[in-house]
Amino acid sequence: MTQPPTTSAPPSTPRRLKPPLRRTPVSLLLFLLAGFGCLIAVLAATIVIYIGRSAYQAGHQVSPTQAVDGLLDAALNEHDASATDKYLCGDASVRSKVHGVVRRIKTFEKKNPGTFLTYEWSVRKVWQRRGRALVAAQVRAKTTASGSSTNNPEQRWSFAMRDQGGWKVCALTIPEN
């Protein structure tokens, strides 16, 4: 038996390897800046989503009691008249009444340094049909001065609500002191 002639392959040239990346101070700085930029973008997106969701919820309450609770919180706890506008219909008399409450609280606390008003309330729906509702809230105020607290008489506030793509306060009855 004869062996077939062996053919040898021509010697192959070695494959060229890419030179390794060099870590220079500039490339390291660019890498860190890119990471920092991504972090800032994620934080900004989170803040925008949070603010947007809060603003949307303020104007689009799904129930009359949530709208009243939001209005009372904005007026009595946050003392923010502009934030209350998100919970109100376009009626100027209701707007001026709510802004007056906020103004009286701010004036009282300004005239009496070291004295604080805190509010609590319970909200219940009295009546609801189609796009209208009546809501009642029992509002309790506490005055704290020099470490001692005084409970003020409880008041019943009444709210006439309308669903306008979210529940809004269109009329408000507050007992006069």
pLDDT tens digit sequence for 116-149: 899 999 999 889 999 999 999 999 999 998 888 9
Q: State if pTM tops 0.85.
A: no
Pair 125, 152 in one domain: yes
CA separation for the pair 107, 35 (Å, rounded):
48
From the number of C-beta atoms within 10 Å of its C-beta (0-12, 13-18, 19+), residue 61 rates as: buried
- Please state the φ and ψ torsions of residue 92, each to the nearest 5 degrees: -70, -30
User: Domain total for the chain?
Assistant: 2
- Average per-residue pLDDT for the chain: 87
Whether residue 168 contacts residue 67, with contact meaning beta carbons closer than 8 Å, is answered with yes
Pair 41, 65 in one domain: no
- The residues facing 115 across adjacent strands are 145
For residue 85, what is the domain's CATH number? 3.10.450.50
Pair 40, 100 in one domain: no
Pair 40, 72 in one domain: no
Pair 52, 111 in one domain: no
Residue 91 inside a domain? The answer is yes
Confidence of residue 13 (pLDDT cuts 50, 70, 90): confident
Q: What pLDDT is recorded for position 141? A: 93
> What is the domain extent for residue 41?
27-58
Pair 48, 67 in one domain: no
Confidence of residue 7 (pLDDT cuts 50, 70, 90): low
Q: What pLDDT is recorded for position 31? A: 86
Does 106 score more than 70 pLDDT? Answer: yes
Arithmetic mean of pLDDT, 7-31: 76
Q: What pLDDT is recorded for position 6? A: 63
Confidence of residue 45 (pLDDT cuts 50, 70, 90): confident
